Structure 1
Amino acid sequence: MEMRDDDGRIRTGTVWTATAHAVTAVIGSGVLALPWSVAQMGWIFGPIALAVFALITYYTSVLLSDCYRSPDPVLGKRNYTYMGAVKALLGGRQVFVCGLVQYVMLWGAVVGYTITSATSMMSIQRTNCFHEKGNDPRCGELSGNKFLLIFGVIEVLLSQFPNLEKITMLSVMAAIMSFAYSLIALLLSIVKFASQPEFRGSLTGAKIGTNGISSSTKVWNASQALGNIAFAYTYALLLIEIQDTLKSPPSENKTMKKASMYGLGATTVFYVSLGLMGYAAFGNDVPGNILTAFREPFWLIDAANLAVIIHLIGAYQVYSQPIFGFYEKWLSSRWPSAGFLHNLYTLKIPFIANSFRLEFTLSKLFLRTAFVLITTLVAMMFPFFNAILGLIGAIAFWPLTVHFPVRMYISQANIKRGSSKWLILQSLSMVSLLVSLIAAVGSIADIVQHLKHAKLFHITL
Structure 2
Amino acid sequence: MVGAGMLGLPYAMAELGWGPGVAVLVLSWIITLYTLWQMIDMHEMIPGKRFDRYHEMAQQAFGEKLGLYIVVPQQLIVEVGVSIVYMVIGGKSLQMFHDTVCSSCNKIKTSYFIMIHASVHFVLSHLPNFNSIGVSLAAAVVSLSYYTIAWTASLHKGVQPNVQYGYREKSTAGTVFNFFSALGYVAFAYGGHHVVLEIQATIPSTPEKPSKGPMWRGVVIAYIIVALCYFPVALIGYWIFGNSVEDNILISLEKPAWLIALANMFVVVHVIGSYQISSRLVFDMIEAGLVKKLHFEPTRTLRFITRNIYVAFTMFIVITFPFFGDLLSFFGGFAFAPTTYFLPCMMWLAMKKPRRFSLSWWTNWMCIVIGVLLMVLAPIGALRQIIIKAKTYGFYS
Normalising by structure 2, we get a TM-score of: 0.89
**Equivalent residue letter for 1:81:** R
- Deviation of 1:441 after TM superposition, in Å, equals 2.6
Counterpart in 1 of 2:228? 269
2:46 paired residue number: 71
Residues 248 and 325 in structure 2, CA contact (< 8 A), matched pair in contact too: no
1:415 CA displacement: 2.5
- Residue 184 of structure 1 corresponds to 149
What's the % identity of the aligned pairs? 27
Which residue in 1 is equivalent to 2:66? 93
Task: Report the Cα distance in structure 1 between the residues aligned to 2:210 and 2:128, rounded to whole angstroms.
Answer: 25
- Within the alignment, does 1:83 sit opposite 2:55 as a pair? yes
> Where in structure 1 are there 5+ consecutive unaligned residues?
1-25, 344-360
Tell whether 2:248 aligns with 1:289. Answer: yes
Q: Which amino acid aligns with 1:228?
A: Y
Q: Does 1:318 align with 2:277?
A: yes
TM-score, length basis structure 1: 0.78
The yes-or-no answer on 1:232 pairing with 2:232 is no
Amino acid in structure 2 at the alignment position of 1:413: K
Q: Report whether the alignment pairs 1:146 with 2:112.
A: yes
User: Equivalent residue for 2:28?
Assistant: 53
The equivalent of 2:237 in structure 1 is 278
Q: Equivalent residues in 2 for 1:20-419 (5 A)?
A: 26-69=1-44, 71-72=46-47, 75-76=48-49, 78-91=50-63, 92-130=65-103, 133=104, 141-161=107-127, 166-193=131-158, 201-202=164-165, 205-206=166-167, 213-248=170-205, 250-331=209-290, 333-334=292-293, 340-341=297-298, 363-384=302-323, 387-419=326-358
Question: Is the contact between residue 70 and residue 88 of structure 1 (CA under 8 Å) also seen in structure 2?
Answer: no
* Contact kept in structure 2, 1:178 and 1:311, CA below 8 Å: yes
Distance 1:363 1:254 in 2: 42
Q: Which structure would you say has the larger Rg?
A: 1
User: Residue 15 of structure 2 contacts residue 182 of structure 2 at CA under 8 Å; is this kept in 1?
Assistant: yes
1:87–1:95 Cα contact (<8 Å) kept = yes
- Runs of 5+ consecutive residues of structure 2 not aligned to the other structure: none
Deviation for aligned residue 1:233: 0.8
Show structure 1 runs of 4+ deviating over 6 A: none
Deviation at 1:387, TM superposition (A): 2.1
Report the Cα offset of residue 291 of structure 1.
1.1
In the comparison of the two structures, how many residue pairs are matched?
394
Distance 2:246 2:327 in 1: 19
AA in 2 matched with 1:156: F
Amino acid paired to 1:308: V
When you count helix as a share of all residues, which structure comes out higher?
A: 2
Residues 372-403 of structure 1: per-residue CA shift (max 9 Å, x gap): 23222332233237524422321234421132
Query: Once the two structures are superposed, what CA deviation does each residue of 1:141-189 show, in whole Å capped at 9, x if it has no partner?
Result: 421333223322322333345567x321011101111111111111111
Q: Is the 8 A contact 1:109 1:319 kept in 2?
A: yes
Deviation at residue 334 of structure 1 after TM alignment: 4.7
Deviation of 1:434 (Å): 2.2
Q: One-letter code of the match for 1:120? A: S
Q: Secondary structure at the match of 2:17?
A: helix
Query: Whole-Å Cα distance in 1 between the matches of residues 77 and 335 of structure 2?
Result: 9
Tell me the alpha carbon deviations over residues 339-376 of structure 1, each in whole angstroms, 9 at most, x when there is no partner: x42x7xxxxxxxxxxxxxxxxx5544443333223222
Cα RMSD after superposing both structures: 2.7
Q: Alpha carbons of 1:385 and 1:51: their partners in 2 closer, same or farther (altered >3 Å)? A: closer
Residue matched to 1:349: none
CA distance in 2 between counterparts of 1:157 and 1:251 reads: 40
